[in-house]
Amino acid sequence: MDTFSLKNATRSSLPRVAFSVIKEKILGGSYALSVVFVGEKRMRDLNATYRKKNTPTDILSFPLSKNSGEIVLHMRSVTKKASLFSLSPRAYLAYVFIHGCLHLKGYTHGRTMEKLEDRWLRAFKLQKPLR
């Protein structure tokens, strides 16, 4: 059984990020994860439906079961936010992917999640966003 899939439903090229390696370390080998890159309209619709915000966002995480989930990403929002945090789009994409994986593990925003993000960023030798 394949436990990782990545789909780019946009015309944009994607920065190289070790999604499957990060997924394996944080979520484990038996966790089935689908990662989908979507355009602005689709992300806006998803964000409006699930978060009641009528704007696109960089990432949404959807736990589907205890051992499966989906992460939806919008590259233009990732690129915009990267500059706000003084990061390259690649570095910010890796950070939000880690963030999304932690949400799938059940963590919510707060001190514990920030400590785990910092730990994983160090483990993968990635830059930390300036918060």
Question: What pLDDT, on a 0 to 100 scale, did the predictor assign at position 128?
Answer: 80
- How close are the terminal C-alpha atoms of the chain, in Å? 38
- Say yes or no to pLDDT of 2 above 90: no
Distance between CA atoms of residues 72 and 74, nearest Å: 7
List pLDDT tens digits, range 95-108.
999 999 999 999 99
* Mean pLDDT to the nearest integer, 26-32: 97
List pLDDT tens digits, range 34-58.
999 999 999 999 999 999 999 999 9
Are the C-beta atoms of residues 75 and 37 closer than 8 Å to each other?
A: yes
The pair of structure tokens assigned to 53 is 């915000």
Are the C-beta atoms of residues 78 and 100 closer than 8 Å to each other?
A: no
Residue with tokens 């966790």: 31
What percent of the chain is predicted at pLDDT more than 90? 89
Question: What is the CATH topology of the domain spanning 4-123?
Answer: Collagenase (Catalytic Domain) (3.40.390)
Question: What pLDDT, on a 0 to 100 scale, did the predictor assign at position 1?
Answer: 57
- Say yes or no to pLDDT of 15 above 60: yes
The pair of structure tokens assigned to 73 is 């990403």
Mean residue pLDDT of the chain comes to 95
Are the C-beta atoms of residues 90 and 126 closer than 8 Å to each other?
A: no
Q: Where are the domains of the chain?
A: 4-123
Are the C-beta atoms of residues 66 and 31 closer than 8 Å to each other?
A: no
The more confident residue out of 10 and 12 is: 10
- Say yes or no to pLDDT of 78 above 90: yes
Question: Which residues have a Cβ under 8 Å from the Cβ of 33 and sit 6 or more positions away?
Answer: 3, 4, 5, 23, 27, 68, 69, 70, 71, 101, 104
